[in-house]
């Protein structure tokens, strides 16, 4: 059996493991919710992850000639806004290699599969490199937005969700505490 045939046959099991791997990178509370909630509106991240990994898998299996950038960008943008390090944000791409090898281990005696794996790995590596580029572009965009917020003062509205009078009271309280400390030490 050719690798493409095996990948097509085992698609649902492989993609499910891949989705679970990616969602497993979130905290236990989030991961459980993301894996169990199937409503696309209640769980948009889980939905985009599922759709995105299915699309990437089809590209890796040569079923779909769609440009990988659009699919990958959706997945990477989600990871970029969640403050994953670059390596953690992109690591899910490499996980498919291990998952496919676990499936192929059962077909060890088929030499044709072993010959096709390096080409598959090369596709995965190319997608991972593109994912890293997209991650860095997305993070740069986020930082540019953050700089604009700081320059315009909009960060006050987004960072602490406090009104200006509450912030003024907090500043006055801090100043009073400093004054009290200075008076008590003299």
| 75 and 91 in a common domain | yes
| 37 and 14 in a common domain | yes
Tokens (6 digits) for 150? 């700081």
Sign of CA dihedral 73, 79, 81, 84: negative
pTM > 0.85 = no
Residue 155 pLDDT exceeds 70: no
Angle, helices 44-60 vs 28-36, to 10°: value is 70
Residue of 48, 61, 74 whose CA lies nearest to 14? 61
| 147 and 162 in a common domain | no
Helix boundaries (H) for 38-110: 44-60, 68-81, 86-104
| 165 and 74 in a common domain | no
Q: How many domains does the chain have?
A: 2
| 180 and 108 in a common domain | no
The 10s digit of each residue's pLDDT in 79-94 is 999 878 999 999 999 9
Percent of the residues in the chain that have a pLDDT greater than 90, as a whole number: 40
Domain hosting 143: range is: 3-152
pLDDT at 165: 60
Distance CA 161, CA 146 (A): 16
More confident: 68 or 112:
68
CA distances from 70 to 14, 76, 149 (A): 22, 10, 27
pLDDT at 160: 55
| 175 and 118 in a common domain | no
């Amino acid at each position: 059996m050719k690798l493409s045939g095996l990948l097509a046959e085992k698609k649902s099991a492989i993609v499910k493991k891949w989705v679970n791997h990616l969602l497993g990178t979130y905290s236990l509370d989030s991961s459980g919710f993301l894996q169990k909630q199937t409503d696309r509106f209640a769980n948009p991240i889980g939905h985009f992850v599922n759709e995105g990994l299915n699309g990437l898998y089809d590209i890796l299996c040569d079923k779909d000639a769609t440009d990988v950038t659009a699919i990958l960008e959706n997945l990477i943008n989600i990871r970029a806004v969640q403050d994953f390090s670059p390596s953690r944000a992109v690591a899910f791409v490499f996980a498919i290699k291990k998952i496919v090898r676990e499936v192929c281990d059962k077909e060890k005696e088929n030499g044709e599969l072993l010959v096709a794996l390096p080409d598959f790995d090369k596709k995965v590596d190319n997608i991972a490199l593109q994912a890293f580029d997209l991650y860095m572009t997305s993070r740069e965009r986020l930082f540019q937005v953050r700089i604009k917020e700081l320059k315009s003062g909009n960060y006050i509205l987004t960072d602490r969700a406090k009104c200006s009078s509450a912030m003024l009271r907090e500043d006055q309280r801090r100043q009073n505490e400093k004054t009290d400390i200075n008076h008590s030490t003299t």
